[in-house]
Amino acid sequence: MKKKFEKIVVYLLFILTLIFLFQKTTLLFVRKGNGYGTDVLNFYKQERNSIDILVLGSSHAYSAINPYLIEELTGLKTYNFCTQQQPIWITYHYFIEALKTQNPQYVLLELFMVIDEEDDYAEESVNRDAIDKMKMSLNKIETIMASVDKKEDRTPYYFNIMKYHTRYKELNATDFKTAFLGETLDNKGYIALPKTEYAFPAQKLRSEEEAEIHNKSLKYLSRIFELAEENNMKLILIKTPALYDEQSLARLNTIKRIAKNKNIILLDYVNNMEKLNLDYYNDFYDHGHLSGTGSDKFTKKLIEDLNLN
């Protein structure tokens, strides 16, 4: 009986060792922080219940909202849990992931991808940036299922090594430090974009018209509303400064009506950019993204409008 028990222990240790090595090898080969918003691995290192303001969305959020400045001016710890071109269904699952360890006072949801999205599925590069380094869990599986259309294309998301095993020639010090020393990209998800002397024309369009929101985006936007309500979170919708055409403005109007009916605050900085005192020559990276100086101006106005002081 004793020998049988010892064999079971040895087998279990062997299996656990294999799992450990597989996880480390997978992390070694997967692409590391690329500067496009949050490093999910870094988010997992945040102290439990240490985040006061959780920012969700795409690059329009992580380039516009400066968490360091918010903390400096208000004392509220902020994290931009955002990735590039992040569709709203991934944002919803990021919200779920965040709530596993955090209980923020405010959840700020930037609306660009709700307004802009017209497809049911994003490009693989977008999915990879958001999903690859999520911890394996039911939520990650559901994220993959929502984000990848064909079942046969989902397997490399469950087992990243299938996608990245050919990277062995590219491995560098960062890969090994991340996999074995826990090194992560510690930027609170914020990217201060450079000014590009982009000739940003003043937004002059005004519209009272409404336009339909992409059905899948609308469904997941509603789920975010419900998740915030279930967890007694103060959800605030934000549209950061951008140059919008009539259709985009009409879609924004639709979201405004929905938010009003649900008694959710929506801060529209597309139609109110004049209040931000932005320099159209220096404060923008392009037609939809603020530069570092623009994000500082915007963040200060956001603090004022939310009465965070």
Please, how many CA atoms are within 13 Å of residue 242, restricted to the half-sphere of its CB?
23
207 — pLDDT class (breaks 50, 70, 90) = confident
36 — pLDDT class (breaks 50, 70, 90) = confident
183 — pLDDT class (breaks 50, 70, 90) = confident
pLDDT at 277: 87
Task: Identify which of 145-154, 163-172, 179-188, 272-281 has the greatest average pLDDT.
Answer: 145-154
**What average pLDDT score do residues 205-214 get?**
86
N residues, the chain:
309
14 — pLDDT class (breaks 50, 70, 90) = low
**What average pLDDT score do residues 231-244 get?**
94
pLDDT at 178: 74
Residue 261 in this model has a pLDDT that exceeds 90: yes
Pairing of strands 53-57, 78-82: parallel
Q: In what helix (H) or strand (E) does residue 236 lie, and over which residues does it extend?
A: strand 234-239
Q: Could you tell me how far CA 149 lies from the centroid of its own chain?
A: 21
Residue 168 in this model has a pLDDT that exceeds 80: no
pLDDT at 201: 72
**Cα 200–Cα 201–Cα 202 angle in degrees, nearest 5:** 115
Residue 9 in this model has a pLDDT that exceeds 70: no
**Cα 64–Cα 67–Cα 71 angle in degrees, nearest 5:** 140
pLDDT at 267: 96
pLDDT at 172: 78
pLDDT at 20: 63
Residue 240 in this model has a pLDDT that exceeds 80: yes
Q: Which of 8-17, 87-96, 110-119 has the lowest mean pLDDT?
A: 8-17
pLDDT at 275: 82
pLDDT at 98: 98
**What average pLDDT score do residues 257-281 get?**
90
The answer to whether 31 and 79 have CB atoms below 8 angstroms apart is no
- Arithmetic mean of pLDDT over the chain: 89
**What average pLDDT score do residues 92-106 get?**
98
pLDDT at 204: 67
Q: Which residues are paired to 109 by β-bridges? A: 56, 237
The answer to whether 22 and 159 have CB atoms below 8 angstroms apart is no
21 — pLDDT class (breaks 50, 70, 90) = low
Instruction: List domains and CATH numbers for the chain.
Output: 34-149+185-305 (3.40.50.1110)
Residue with tokens 């709530």, as numbered in its chain:
99
pLDDT at 249: 92
Residue 264 in this model has a pLDDT that exceeds 80: yes
Task: Name the H helices within 100-181.
Answer: 112-116, 124-131, 138-147, 155-158, 161-164, 173-181
**What average pLDDT score do residues 200-206 get?**
70
pLDDT at 58: 96
**Three-class secondary structure assignment of 273-303:** HHHHCCCCCCCECCCCCECHHHHHHHHHHHH
24 — pLDDT class (breaks 50, 70, 90) = low
C-alpha distances in Å from residue 168, one per residue of 22, 155, 159, 161, 204: 15, 20, 16, 11, 52
Task: Name the H helices within the chain.
Answer: 2-29, 40-44, 59-62, 67-74, 88-99, 112-116, 124-131, 138-147, 155-158, 161-164, 173-181, 215-230, 246-261, 292-305
120 — pLDDT class (breaks 50, 70, 90) = very high
Residue 131 in this model has a pLDDT that exceeds 70: yes
